[in-house]
A and B are shown apart, each in its own frame.
Chain A
Amino acid sequence: MFCQPHRPLSRRDLLAQAGLGFGTLAALGVLGQEGVLGQEGVAAHALASRPGHFPPRARAVISLFMHGGPSQLDTFDPKPLLARYAGQTLPESFGSLDLEFTKSSTAKVLASRRTFARYGQSGLEISDLFPYLASHADRLAVVRSCHHTEFNHSPALYFMHGGNRQMGRPSLGAWCTYGLGSEAEDLPGYVVMRDGPLKSGPETYGAGFLPAVHQATELRSATPPILYLNRAAAAPPLDTRRLLDFAQALNRQHAAVRAGDDRLSARIAAGELAFRMQSAAPEAIDLARETAATHRLYGLDRDQTRSFGTQCLIARRLVERGVRFVQLYHGGGNVGWDTHGNNDGQHQINALQTDGPIAALLEDLAARGLLDSTLVMWGGEFGRTPTSEGADGRDHSPYGFSVWLAGGGVRGGMAYGATDDFGFNAVENKVPIRDLHATILHLLGLGHEELTYLFQGLDQKLTGVEPARVIRELLA
């Protein structure tokens, strides 16, 4: 929501709302020239990189979001009992859980067609959907006991991103740049890439009530990579630098007789940053600068993996350039992981498209020494039912599903928590989403109780009002 919260605007806020790096202002000579941007203002700048509440384990995040909701039962949470009960209803003790399309009391158990094996020194169980990822088993901390109560896409997506089922809450990435700023000078601090629109709309990765400077910038693998980065092909041939120079000359005259208004100089600087983004953003996504071996590693040479491989490779380039939070989506705009029918076949397709690129990302980050400082996370808005929808589909289930973390500060090679014998409900070491969020913030050096923003009369937190717990068991 683009709405100033219940708080007066201070000069500090005005600066904080300008999405400009210190270098930008300095380079423009705005600081000395205008004499209005004191050190205090710059230090308080919203996207200036700054320390968190304690030393971090990770300084960047890459979130791999599998839109639609991947099945825990076919990926990271093996349940041999499903085969034995296939075609039967669940034991009565399950009662009736709210689901989108099916009834948990009458639906029949659907066995997984996947086979699981143990990988790495840790012996972590992973299904045969992910042969490439399996080689990184010792890097993964799989949480098998995530749970919430939202069994429909939008509220579940808002929950996973913003810690609350309602739309209009700041997303995790926005909280991160709010807490830490960004190290990227000519690029946004919070970047989103997706292969299609999300069922819950762009609000999903929004800044909610936080200043709009924390809004995600969507980077597209198409041209142009950022909305309005270029003019439409049919537009008249205009010389942007020249017309911007003319406007900036007017702006300097205008500002010169209006001393004391930081916003005017901030807007001059924002215009220049916009201009430089026109080259910086294309450079960041210019994969021609990567070697052929890298292209092959990420699967850019194969049709199935090109799309998500491109996202993963760009994510690495963005992290190298100091971007704080990179949010990738797979499965937008089509069936994706929302496998109400043909659960197994569709999971195979999804896995083919993502397994290689994700493994490549982990390997590449590690090879470049970035994995120790980059938190990589994988998951969807919920998991799926152990029971069938139609003949071969699985309905949504938020009651017990798997996510994994890897990289910066994460103890690899472990599974944490457990679901019941049918993989329906989280039963052991249950992890509510607020605990997951608290843990992610912790790895970044942010205390979830301390990262607050006053709105609607409350110090709002990503983790909400219920007490949240950092899952120390997942920390290296």
Chain B
Amino acid sequence: MLGFEAFGFEVFGFEVFGFEVLAGKSSHDGRRQVLFFRGALMPDIAFPNLRLLRSPTGRRFWLALLMIAWGVGQGLADDQADTPAAPAAPPAVDFVRDIKPIFVKHCYECHGPGEERGGLSLSQHALALAGGDSGPALVPGSAATSLLVARVDAIQPPAMPLDREPLSVAEIDLLRVWIDEGAVWPETADEADPRHRAAADHWAFRPLVKPPLPAAATDSDAAAGERLASDVIDRFVTAGLEAAGLQMQPEADRIELLRRATFDLTGLAPPPEAILPFAADPRPEAYEELIEQLLASPAYGERWARHWLDVVRYSDSGGYDTDIVYEQAWRYRQYCIRSFQEDKPFDRFLEEQVAGDELWPEQAEAMADAVAVWTLGQWPNAFDAFPDKLAYVRRNDQVVTLSEAMLGLSVGCANCHHHKYDPVSQRDYFGLEAVFAGSESFNRATGNVAWVNGEKSHFRALRHAAEPPAVHLLRRGELNQPAGRVVPAAPAFLPQGGPLFLPGEENPTQARARLAKWITGPDHPLTARVITNRIWQWHFCRGIVATPNDFGTQGAAPTHRELLDWLAADLRDRGYRLKDLHRAIMHSRTYRQSSRRESAAVASDPENILLAGFPRRRMEAEGVWDRLLEASGRLDRRPVDEPFVPPLTDEELQGLYDIGGNPRDNKWKATEAQNRRAIYMLNRRSFRMPLLEAFDQPPNSVGCPVRQSTTVPGQALALLNGDFPVEQATALKDRLFREEPESVENRLKRAWLLVFARPIRADELTSAREFLFSRPEKPTADIWIELCLALFNANEFVYLD
């Protein structure tokens, strides 16, 4: 088939025309598939007030005329291709008047503001130029090679708009002219992305300032920093409760408070000798002294570093078939423990992890421990022979971990497409990748580049890559579909976002440093809010924002937004000292209230969002392990560098695969060091110690923002029958007989202090005696083990008021 199509213009009352030659065939769906070229009998430049002739009759007339003029046209068309339009002349087609209405009518449903089906949005000039998954949509000056035209004219499948009424020939012609004239698109004609509008209003993206306090804000003692902060907590929480007709509970029983605060800050129980004296101490400052003592304990660092390790997906191995051990990952773990113990300002803590090597090169070793966090992601060994894929997987892990852990932003989806709800674009995502692309993992022992096949030692940190790969925006996140090159950048929609370097001043050896300083900058709306929320969550089991890794528009709404802002601003303004925040929280009446809840509060606020009562907590997996050992008297409080490996039975080891067929010796060889706190235990990605797994220990394939707290029969089986709990019950029995050899009553009193951290009640003493003496035929030792195991299986052991 050969055919002609034509279009005409009316210019100052004269009609001129252009034409197209169509060569092709009808496709099966009845639409045209054509090869075409375009020419004009009058040069289609420099005519103001052009108006397309839309009448079908007119078209037919021109078509007839064109058949005759074919040869001339072809010659002219060839000339035209090499002759750009005169630059001074205004375009014949006006974007706002002629083109945008076409987009709105035909394209916006899928490619309009905030829509980018197939990765393409036609709402903004830059986005249209960037194109979608199939490539750039527009080639200014060349309609013939612009995908947009090929699709709407059904030259290249799939024809657009998909499954809808096609554009009229006139509309397509307009598009052609507009593109050939340079696709002029005034900036003012861009449609705002609704995600940006939503982001501008979204509370977490707005500047962080201290909100006014509710009620009487200027108390006489409001001057003292911490006291004020505690008071502020109580004011905001009380305001929320009063609005719901609820009230705070009275202060918790002294012994409950002792156990709560001790576990909260150290993950352990108060020493049995300290329990009754604390309960009897009438001084009001006794509680504050306790908090200071706990914050100064090394155990504080062990407990709170564990929280952070969850967030940054810490693990001692790489996962997948080989689950290769990261032999020196522990250095990062120890770095975190030290940092919490020292109360390192949190902004400094973040800066050291993101770019310690760049910012403080004189502390090379210590900073290498900190930046090693970016070398601890999963290692898909299948990609050993495909270094570019491996590097891509690693960068993805780095970007996702950084943005979720430090910014509370889920950017992972922007790997493949613009974020569906938040204003995070693919460019933002790859901008962060570009930051990391300037660095490579290397083996600190040998100096070799890590992450490649054959590099067996996994003692890694980051350094600057000699030849950093160029990072491209990847359509659909596919390595084989690179689009434009991307420079190191922070998410553009945040203050001071966008490229981290001005053009010409790029310095790849300072890219992470720039990012670090951007994250901790005083104007950053997220950093302080995100860590304040985490600290709150780790005290109260639930964050003020219940989605601590997602402060975006789809995250949970804050339950006490002003309180969070106040505390976050206070933390930032006073130098990011986390221990100050602990004090503020733990001194508050909100924290100190009883966990018993009134039925009215349970009925109206079943999830205890408003905090009418302290939230009861189930110990995390590590708490169960540590407390079993502590109660039995076997806990070895000494830290260890290299992770310790407890002995496991064959039954427990059944899930562990080893390519050599010998998991016990190759992947889970019990170490000499034993009975340490669980934070020091080997943490494999492909296999977890089954007791800890039963109590919801995360495998850390990706970061874990909130521990689950499930109640499943497997936990009961583990605590009833597992070797480890039975051994600790036996050891506790021995300890009781050793420490209280004389009297059954004293032994029972001691047992309650060791396991529940409280004195035994009279009725319990009676029922325990009955349990012990109702089976005279059974050996005493076994009955005592039964008793100890029963205590470990009691709810009170794993739940803290």
Asked whether A9 and B542 contact (CB < 8 A) given A1-B702, A150-B382, the answer is: yes
B597 touches A237 (CB 8 A): no
A232 touches B321 (CB 8 A): no
Q: How far is the CB of A349 from chain B (nearest CB, A)?
A: 18
Chain A, Cβ-Cβ closest to B310: A3
B721 touches A333 (CB 8 A): no
B507 within 8 A of A: no
B700 CB contacts on chain A under 8 angstroms: 1
A264 vs B685: C-alpha distance when bound (angstroms): 31
Q: When A and B form their complex, which 6 residue pairs have the shortest distance between CB atoms, in order from nearest?
A: A152-B382, A260-B602, A201-B686, A457-B410, A168-B701, A8-B546
B347 within 8 A of A: no
Asked whether A202 and B717 contact (CB < 8 A) given A227-B652, A255-B795, the answer is: no
Chain A, Cβ-Cβ closest to B603: A260
CB-contact partner of B718 in A19, A228, A246, A264, under 8 A = A228
B607 touches A458 (CB 8 A): no
Chain A, Cβ-Cβ closest to B720: A240
B712 touches A19 (CB 8 A): yes
Asked whether A263 and B618 contact (CB < 8 A) given A9-B542, A168-B699, the answer is: yes
Q: How far is the CB of A66 from chain B (nearest CB, A)?
A: 16
Stretch at the interface among B273-281, B573-581, B779-787: B779-787
A11 vs B608: C-alpha distance when bound (angstroms): 10
A18 vs B714: C-alpha distance when bound (angstroms): 11
- Chain A stretch 7-53: residues in CB contact (< 8 A) with chain B: 7-11, 14, 17-20
Asked whether A259 and B706 contact (CB < 8 A) given A6-B547, A167-B378, the answer is: no
A277 touches B686 (CB 8 A): no
B606 CB contacts on chain A under 8 angstroms: 10-11, 260
A151 within 8 A of B: yes
A250 vs B609: C-alpha distance when bound (angstroms): 29
Q: List 11 A-B contacts (CB under 8 A).
A: A3-B708, A6-B547, A17-B708, A167-B320, A200-B320, A201-B687, A202-B655, A243-B793, A246-B790, A251-B796, A271-B793
CB-contact partner of B712 in A18, A151, A236, A457, under 8 A = A18
A4 CB contacts on chain B under 8 angstroms: 705-709
Asked whether A250 and B722 contact (CB < 8 A) given A7-B546, A263-B711, the answer is: no
B721 touches A228 (CB 8 A): yes
A6 touches B705 (CB 8 A): yes
A261 within 8 A of B: yes
B656 touches A227 (CB 8 A): no
B696 CB contacts on chain A under 8 angstroms: 2-3, 212
Where chain B touches its partner, the secondary structure class is loop
Stretch at the interface among B44-52, B151-159, B300-308, B550-558: B550-558
A277 CB contacts on chain B under 8 angstroms: 713, 717
A3 vs B707: C-alpha distance when bound (angstroms): 5
A274 touches B713 (CB 8 A): yes
B726 touches A231 (CB 8 A): yes
A93 within 8 A of B: no
A246 touches B382 (CB 8 A): no
Asked whether A238 and B785 contact (CB < 8 A) given A4-B708, A260-B602, the answer is: yes
A232 CB contacts on chain B under 8 angstroms: 649, 723, 726
A17 CB contacts on chain B under 8 angstroms: 708-712
Q: Compute the total of residue contacts between A and B using a CB distance below 8 Å.
A: 301
Chain A, Cβ-Cβ closest to B548: A6
A249 within 8 A of B: yes
A267 touches B717 (CB 8 A): no
A272 vs B552: C-alpha distance when bound (angstroms): 42
Q: How far is the CB of B768 from chain A (nearest CB, A)?
A: 8
Chain A, Cβ-Cβ closest to B543: A8
B699 CB contacts on chain A under 8 angstroms: 1-2, 167-168, 203, 206
Seen from chain A, the residues whose Cβ lies within 8 Å of a Cβ on chain B are: 1-11, 14, 17-20, 98, 100, 150-155, 165-168, 197-203, 206, 211-213, 215, 217-218, 220, 224, 226-232, 235-240, 242-244, 246-247, 249-251, 254-255, 257-261, 263-264, 266-268, 270-271, 273-275, 277-278, 332-334, 456-458, 465
A261 vs B413: C-alpha distance when bound (angstroms): 37
A139 vs B127: C-alpha distance when bound (angstroms): 52
Chain B, Cβ-Cβ closest to A242: B786
A213 touches B712 (CB 8 A): yes
Asked whether A19 and B651 contact (CB < 8 A) given A243-B793, A254-B794, the answer is: no
A229 vs B652: C-alpha distance when bound (angstroms): 12
A18 vs B795: C-alpha distance when bound (angstroms): 14
A244 vs B685: C-alpha distance when bound (angstroms): 34
Asked whether A6 and B549 contact (CB < 8 A) given A198-B657, A213-B710, A239-B786, the answer is: yes
Asked whether A2 and B698 contact (CB < 8 A) given A11-B606, A228-B720, the answer is: yes
- Chain B stretch 459-483: residues in CB contact (< 8 A) with chain A: none
B764 CB contacts on chain A under 8 angstroms: 250
A238 touches B704 (CB 8 A): no
A155 CB contacts on chain B under 8 angstroms: 320, 380, 382
B323 within 8 A of A: yes
B420 within 8 A of A: yes
Q: How far is the CB of B770 from chain A (nearest CB, A)?
A: 9
Given A4-B706, A230-B721, A238-B785: 20 more A-B contacts, CB < 8 Å: A1-B700, A4-B708, A6-B549, A152-B321, A167-B378, A198-B657, A201-B323, A228-B718, A229-B717, A232-B649, A236-B782, A246-B787, A251-B794, A258-B596, A267-B795, A273-B716, A274-B720, A277-B713, A458-B413, A465-B416
Where chain A touches its partner, the secondary structure class is loop
Q: Which one of B556, B656, B704 has the greatest number of beta carbons of chain A within 10 Å?
A: B704
B599 touches A259 (CB 8 A): yes
A218 touches B655 (CB 8 A): yes
A236 touches B649 (CB 8 A): no
CB-contact partner of B711 in A19, A150, A240, under 8 A = A19
Q: Which one of B607, B705, B720 has the greatest number of beta carbons of chain A within 10 Å?
A: B720
B85 CB contacts on chain A under 8 angstroms: none
Asked whether A264 and B795 contact (CB < 8 A) given A211-B710, A228-B717, A246-B787, the answer is: yes
Q: How far is the CB of A234 from chain B (nearest CB, A)?
A: 9
Q: How far is the CB of A32 from chain B (nearest CB, A)?
A: 17
B556 touches A7 (CB 8 A): yes
A229 vs B595: C-alpha distance when bound (angstroms): 34
A6 touches B550 (CB 8 A): yes
A271 CB contacts on chain B under 8 angstroms: 713, 716, 720, 793
A267 vs B619: C-alpha distance when bound (angstroms): 14
A293 vs B502: C-alpha distance when bound (angstroms): 81
A9 CB contacts on chain B under 8 angstroms: 542, 546, 607, 709
B713 touches A270 (CB 8 A): yes
A239 CB contacts on chain B under 8 angstroms: 778, 786
A247 touches B790 (CB 8 A): yes
A228 vs B785: C-alpha distance when bound (angstroms): 18
B616 touches A258 (CB 8 A): yes
A203 CB contacts on chain B under 8 angstroms: 319, 685-686, 699, 701
Q: How far is the CB of B702 from chain A (nearest CB, A)?
A: 6
A202 vs B412: C-alpha distance when bound (angstroms): 25
B378 CB contacts on chain A under 8 angstroms: 166-167
A8 CB contacts on chain B under 8 angstroms: 542, 546-547, 556, 607, 609
CB-contact partner of A236 in B321, B542, B710, B726, under 8 A = B726
B661 CB contacts on chain A under 8 angstroms: 333-334
Q: Which one of B556, B723, B786 has the greatest number of beta carbons of chain A within 10 Å?
A: B786
B663 within 8 A of A: yes
B785 CB contacts on chain A under 8 angstroms: 236, 238
A264 CB contacts on chain B under 8 angstroms: 795, 799
A202 vs B417: C-alpha distance when bound (angstroms): 31
- Chain B stretch 670-718: residues in CB contact (< 8 A) with chain A: 685-687, 690, 693, 696-702, 704-718
A152 vs B382: C-alpha distance when bound (angstroms): 6
Q: How far is the CB of B319 from chain A (nearest CB, A)?
A: 5
- Chain B stretch 380-404: residues in CB contact (< 8 A) with chain A: 380-382, 386, 404
Asked whether A154 and B707 contact (CB < 8 A) given A201-B656, A232-B649, A247-B791, the answer is: no
A3 CB contacts on chain B under 8 angstroms: 310, 696, 698, 704-708
- Chain B stretch 562-617: residues in CB contact (< 8 A) with chain A: 595-597, 599, 601-602, 606-607, 609, 616
